[in-house]
DNA sequence: GATGAATGAGTATTCATTCAT
DNA sequence: AATGAATGAATACTCATTCAT
């Protein structure tokens, strides 16, 4: 039901401009408070132009979310430590950086849970699946605790995502960000289990300068 | 801002009926798709009556969310095991039961993140604060891993809430529910740390028949 | 179609309180912006009470205007110089005092031109008639210029009323008020005719301290 | 605040048609009794079209009044006698013709006193200012009585306008119109002052056939 | 007499969408 | 491709009025 891709170079640029304008609008006011003419106003175009490239407000919204998900994926791809837990720590840190530095964009992502939960979960399911594969392997190697790797994956995502929702609200500046990452990474590593055996990990994390971030 | 409380018994009943009708509507169609007249139709009243008790659709929405939060709080209050981790397991299980058995209601709760994030986080902050107090004490007694107890609290909430979002979607029947609780509880207990030292806990949990639920 | 007069003392007081409340409301917001419940709120009563004493918003409005007209009539009655022109001057001054010191009340009077022009003109016609009678006599005595005394009466009213509309807007404090009265009184006395023969009058006016007013 | 001017010829025509329709509606029923859909019905358009050109009912009302004021100004421009008082007589006559021949239009003008007194007085202030300039010069030349020319101007306007309000009510046909003009013009010329020195003027007025009008 | 809950017709306003230019 | 005028269904909200208590 989506419109065919633009055929001319000019069309490509127009569509992209509309997409950017829509992202700004949705970020500023949220899906329901934005009208199609808000978007075309923001893009400096006539209303009619919108319907050359998108069928619907929902149609652009999906395209915007798709774009944001790709950006987030890109942003997280960097995390590539060899150590399992260190990698988690790094991923969590990166996720929080994204959420807190671009809160409006992150909010659009979360809004998709309400507007179209399919695209919301489709994204996380993709992440969960690749997580789960790695977790399964790690279990086989006795590197991590046993349990359904898929559910473990969702636990990991839960922490990143919900802390993102929580801390992208008011902004999360440097020292606090590090504290969140540190405690949450320990939680991921050891849960609430007693005995602070997390020291070596935390030290290695510090040494490698992971959470130095933003 | 809000309307004054009804002055007669009849008014109290009418207001309550509107609240219930609104809850049904919001659960069925979501905040933005519901019109005020949907609510009054559902309640079998005239539109004008709505405005005797609420200023706005947002006003009822807040009242509905408030009510749901109270119910959820009530629902979770039951969890009262003496063992720390067992208690977490139980709380998680109860939360998932609520989310999965009343997915529409739970969805309203989540929608408040978009509609009015203040009331969304106000609720979780209340929970987080009481969690944090207990976690702090537990840390002092070396029962759990070190770390900022407030952040640990948010990690716990993250898992319950996000798994709730995840699994309330398609429904989560008995065996699956238990698997989720088991793996997530282990995650809470031990994170991803290797060595399956969770056996005693898990067994005791089974023995006490916690996740038997729904 | 109007409600019967209240039978009890209590009823008389209630009706009067509603009337005063209505006057305040109409003065503050104008007829159309005032609702019946605004009036009962202002009076500290329940809506239903209003309909015990008035049929309608228009019904109170008429009663309010009637009351204002009586007050204005009362206010103007004082002017009682023996000299024709001096009397006009005094009447004009009093009228302006009323208009400028109670601009909200005066505005209600003017609003009746739009809301119910019958009551508006009924008032002025009453005044015009008594004016005309006196003017006719004065013409017979060659005291004033010839012409249809009714139309002359309307010219006099025009000046008072329109200057009232004009100067009640921003308020008209002492010195300006005197200047307006002086020039307008001369205009009434001599029109635009050349030769400033108005001096004696003006002096007598000053001597008798007419415009000392407010 | 107001909507941007239409960008196409078609838009210009549509806006003008709406304006005319609004004028008819306001004239027939008065500002408050007219709904936006009354206007669009009268214009044979969809409701939405209204909001392309006006923000509000008040917005069109202002535009309508503006248009009427321009017409009235145009209508009065004709009066161009060389004699001061003759000119006043002519202006008064023209004003009454406008008020009495187009009572509905004139009523809209007066209604603006209630709906938006700023635009009401802005119009008269413009007139008063140009009047005052001429009156000042005439005073310097000893052609007219002394006094604040601005206030004199408002006295002149008062008579035209209030007689307009008075006589546009029931209609004012030929002989009566002449009588009103004659007496009022004398009033303007000589006020109530005794001694009928106005004869020459009145005769010249008659000779030049001023009030022959309608 | 006084109250205030209930009503529902009426009005303003928005906005997605179409289409002629 | 781009424009922007036109549409009208949909919705929020008000308010005069009634009536049971």
A-chain residues within 8 Å CB-CB of B88? 192
Protein CA at C99 to nucleotide C1' at F3, angstroms: 55
B-chain residues within 8 Å CB-CB of A194? 142-145
- H or E element that contains B114: helix B103-115
pLDDT at A186: 86
Q: Check residue B214 and report its DSSP letter.
A: -
Protein CA at B51 to nucleotide C1' at F13, angstroms: 8
Q: Identify which of B154, B169, B187 has the shortest CB distance to residue A152.
A: B187
Which chain C residue shows the shortest CA-CA distance from D147?
Answer: C183
pLDDT at D212: 36
D-chain residues within 8 Å CB-CB of C138? 192
Is the pLDDT assigned to residue C39 strictly greater than 50? Answer: yes
Number of residues in chain B:
214
pLDDT at C141: 86
Classify each residue of C137-176 as buried b or exposed e, where b means 16 or more C-beta atoms within 10 Å of its C-beta.
ebbeeeebbebbbbbbbbbbbbbbbbbbbbbbbeebeeee
Per-residue pLDDT reduced to its tens digit, A44-63: 999 999 999 999 999 999 99
What crossing angle do the helices spanning C103-115 and C84-101 adopt, rounded to 10°?
A: 90
Per-residue pLDDT reduced to its tens digit, A157-200: 999 999 999 999 987 777 788 899 999 988 888 777 655 443 33
Per-residue pLDDT reduced to its tens digit, B125-177: 999 999 999 889 888 888 788 889 999 999 999 999 999 999 999 877 777 88
Q: Cβ D152–C183 below 8 Å, yes or no?
A: yes
Residue pair D115/D62 in contact by the 8 Å Cβ criterion = no
Q: How far is CA B197 from CA A88, B72, B174, C189, D196, in A?
A: 22, 32, 26, 112, 122
Task: Give the helix ranges, DSSP H, for D102-195.
Answer: 103-115, 117-140, 149-167, 174-190
Which chain B residue shows the shortest CA-CA distance from A198?
Answer: B145
Cβ neighbours of residue B1 under 8 Å, at least 6 residues apart? B55
Q: Identify which of C155, C169, C190 has the shortest CB distance to residue D193.
A: C190
pLDDT at A194: 57
Number of residues in chain A:
214
Protein CA at B53 to nucleotide C1' at E7, angstroms: 15
Using the Cβ of A171 and the Cβ atoms of chain B, whether some distance falls under 8 Å is answered with no
Is the pLDDT assigned to residue C190 strictly greater than 90? Answer: no
Q: For testing the chain A interface, which of B121, B151, B152 should be mutated: the one with the most A CBs within 10 Å?
A: B151
Q: Compute the distance between CA of residue B50 and CA of residue C169 in angstroms, rounded to an integer.
A: 41
Per-residue pLDDT reduced to its tens digit, D59-108: 999 999 999 999 999 999 766 677 878 888 999 999 999 999 999 999 99
- In this complex, the residue with its CA at the shortest distance from the C1' of nucleotide E18 is A48
Q: Compute the distance between CA of residue A108 and CA of residue A99 in angstroms, rounded to an integer.
A: 11
* Token pair in block for residue D50: 């209204």
- In this complex, the residue with its CA at the shortest distance from the C1' of nucleotide E12 is D36
Calculate mean pLDDT across residues D2-20. 94
Size of interface C-D (CB pairs under 8 A): 159
Which chain D residue shows the shortest CA-CA distance from C109?
Answer: D114
Using the Cβ of A173 and the Cβ atoms of chain B, whether some distance falls under 8 Å is answered with no
The number of beta carbons lying within 10 Å of the beta carbon of residue C16 is 14
Q: Cβ B169–A117 below 8 Å, yes or no?
A: yes
Residue D82, CB-side half-sphere exposure with 13 Å CA sphere: 2
Q: For testing the chain C interface, which of D193, D202, D205 should be mutated: the one with the most C CBs within 10 Å?
A: D193
Q: Compute the distance between CA of residue D167 and CA of residue A63 in angstroms, rounded to an integer.
A: 67
Q: Identify which of C32, C113, C191 has the shortest CB distance to residue D190.
A: C191
Distance from CA of B11 to the nearest CA of A (A): 33
pLDDT at B73: 94
Protein CA at D51 to nucleotide C1' at E13, angstroms: 8
Distance from CA of A77 to the nearest CA of B (A): 21
- A window 37-76, beta carbon within 8 A of B: none
pLDDT higher for A187 or A212? A187
Is the pLDDT assigned to residue A206 strictly greater than 60? Answer: no
- H or E element that contains C156: helix C149-167
pLDDT at C43: 97
Q: For testing the chain D interface, which of C158, C159, C176, C199 should be mutated: the one with the most D CBs within 10 Å?
A: C158
Q: How far is CA B136 from CA B142, B145, B187, C122, in A?
A: 10, 10, 20, 83
A-chain residues within 8 Å CB-CB of B85? 192
Cβ neighbours of residue B12 under 8 Å, at least 6 residues apart? B5, B6
Per-residue pLDDT reduced to its tens digit, C69-109: 999 999 997 666 777 788 888 999 999 999 999 999 999 99
Residue pair B91/B79 in contact by the 8 Å Cβ criterion = yes
Residue D169, classed as helix, strand or coil, is coil
Q: Compute the distance between CA of residue B136 and CA of residue B172 in angstroms, rounded to an integer.
A: 33
Cβ neighbours of residue B112 under 8 Å, at least 6 residues apart? B61, B65, B119, B120
Q: Identify which of B32, B84, B165 has the shortest CB distance to residue A113.
A: B165
Using the Cβ of C180 and the Cβ atoms of chain D, whether some distance falls under 8 Å is answered with yes
Residue pair D186/C149 in contact by the 8 Å Cβ criterion = no
pLDDT at B37: 96
The chain-wide mean pLDDT, for chain C, equals 87
Q: Identify which of A114, A151, A166 has the shortest CB distance to residue B179.
A: A151
pLDDT at A63: 97
pLDDT at B142: 80
B-chain residues within 8 Å CB-CB of A162? 154, 157-159, 161-162
Is the pLDDT assigned to residue B40 strictly greater than 50? Answer: yes
Using the Cβ of B143 and the Cβ atoms of chain A, whether some distance falls under 8 Å is answered with yes
Protein CA at A59 to nucleotide C1' at F6, angstroms: 24
Domains of chain A by range and CATH? 9-55 (1.10.10.60), 64-209 (1.10.357)
Cβ neighbours of residue D14 under 8 Å, at least 6 residues apart? D6, D45, D49, D52, D53
Using the Cβ of B192 and the Cβ atoms of chain A, whether some distance falls under 8 Å is answered with yes
* Residue indicated by tokens 């919301």: A120
Distance from CA of A169 to the nearest CA of B (A): 9
- In this complex, the residue with its CA at the shortest distance from the C1' of nucleotide E21 is D8
Q: Which subunits have 3 or more CB–CB pairs within 8 Å of chain B? A: A
Is the pLDDT assigned to residue C195 strictly greater than 70? Answer: no
* Token pair in block for residue C149: 């005394």
Per-residue pLDDT reduced to its tens digit, B41-78: 999 999 999 999 999 999 999 999 999 999 999 999 76
Per-residue pLDDT reduced to its tens digit, D145-163: 888 999 999 999 999 999 9
Is the pLDDT assigned to residue A154 strictly greater than 70? Answer: yes
Q: Cβ D145–C169 below 8 Å, yes or no?
A: no
pLDDT higher for D187 or B69? B69
Q: Which subunits have 3 or more CB–CB pairs within 8 Å of chain A? A: B
Using the Cβ of A140 and the Cβ atoms of chain B, whether some distance falls under 8 Å is answered with no
Residue pair C161/D201 in contact by the 8 Å Cβ criterion = no
Q: For testing the chain C interface, which of D107, D140, D151 should be mutated: the one with the most C CBs within 10 Å?
A: D151
Classify each residue of A141-162 as buried b or exposed e, where b means 16 or more C-beta atoms within 10 Å of its C-beta.
eeebbbbbbbbbbbbbbbbbbb
In this prediction, residue D1 has a pLDDT band, given cuts at 50, 70 and 90, of low
Protein CA at B4 to nucleotide C1' at E5, angstroms: 13
Q: How far is CA D162 from CA B137, B182, C185, D84, in A?
A: 85, 89, 18, 21
Is the pLDDT assigned to residue C207 strictly greater than 70? Answer: no
Using the Cβ of D114 and the Cβ atoms of chain C, whether some distance falls under 8 Å is answered with yes
Using the Cβ of D35 and the Cβ atoms of chain C, whether some distance falls under 8 Å is answered with no
pLDDT at B64: 98
* Residue indicated by tokens 């109409």: C26
The chain-wide mean pLDDT, for chain B, equals 86
Which nucleotides of strand E are protein-proximal, with an atom < 7 A from a CB? 1-20
Calculate mean pLDDT across residues D115-134. 95
Using the Cβ of C83 and the Cβ atoms of chain D, whether some distance falls under 8 Å is answered with no
In this prediction, residue C149 has a pLDDT band, given cuts at 50, 70 and 90, of very high
Using the Cβ of B157 and the Cβ atoms of chain A, whether some distance falls under 8 Å is answered with yes
Which nucleotides of strand F are protein-proximal, with an atom < 7 A from a CB? 1-20
Using the Cβ of A178 and the Cβ atoms of chain B, whether some distance falls under 8 Å is answered with no
Calculate mean pLDDT across residues B167-191. 84
Q: Identify which of D113, D169, D188 has the shortest CB distance to residue C191.
A: D188
In this prediction, residue A79 has a pLDDT band, given cuts at 50, 70 and 90, of low
Calculate mean pLDDT across residues A120-131. 95
Q: Which long-range contacts (CB under 8 A, 24 or more apart) does B7-15 make?
A: B11/B52, B11/B53, B14/B45, B14/B49, B14/B52, B14/B53, B15/B53
A192 backbone dihedrals φ, ψ, rounded to 5°: -100, 5
Per-residue pLDDT reduced to its tens digit, C14-30: 999 999 999 999 999 99
Using the Cβ of A117 and the Cβ atoms of chain B, whether some distance falls under 8 Å is answered with yes
Q: Compute the distance between CA of residue A106 and CA of residue A163 in angstroms, rounded to an integer.
A: 12
Q: How far is CA D196 from CA B180, C139, D92, D143, D180, in A?
A: 110, 11, 21, 18, 17
Residue pair C101/C177 in contact by the 8 Å Cβ criterion = no
């Amino acid at each position: 039901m989506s419109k065919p891709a633009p055929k001319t170079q000019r069309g490509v640029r127009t569509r992209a401009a509309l997409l950017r304008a829509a992202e700004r609008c949705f970020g500023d006011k949220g899906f329901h408070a934005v009208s199609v003419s808000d978007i075309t106003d923001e893009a400096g175009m006539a209303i009619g132009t919108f319907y050359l490239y998108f069928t619907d407000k929902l149609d652009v919204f999906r395209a915007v979310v798709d774009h944001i998900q790709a950006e987030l994926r890109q942003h997280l791809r960097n995390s590539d430590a060899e150590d399992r837990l260190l990698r988690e720590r790094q991923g969590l840190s990166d996720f929080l950086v994204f959420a807190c530095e671009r809160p409006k964009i992150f909010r659009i992502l979360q809004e998709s849970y309400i507007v179209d939960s399919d695209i919301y979960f489709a994204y996380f399911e993709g992440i969960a699946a690749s997580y789960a594969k790695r977790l399964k392997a790690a279990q086989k190697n006795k590197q991590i605790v046993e349990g359904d790797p898929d559910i473990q994956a969702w636990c990991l995502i839960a922490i990143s995502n919900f802390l993102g929702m929580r801390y992208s609200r008011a902004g999360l500046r440097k020292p606090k960000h590090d504290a969140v990452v540190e405690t949450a990474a320990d939680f991921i590593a050891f849960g609430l289990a007693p005995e602070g055996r997390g020291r070596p990990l935390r030290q290695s994390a510090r040494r490698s300068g992971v959470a130095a971030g933003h």
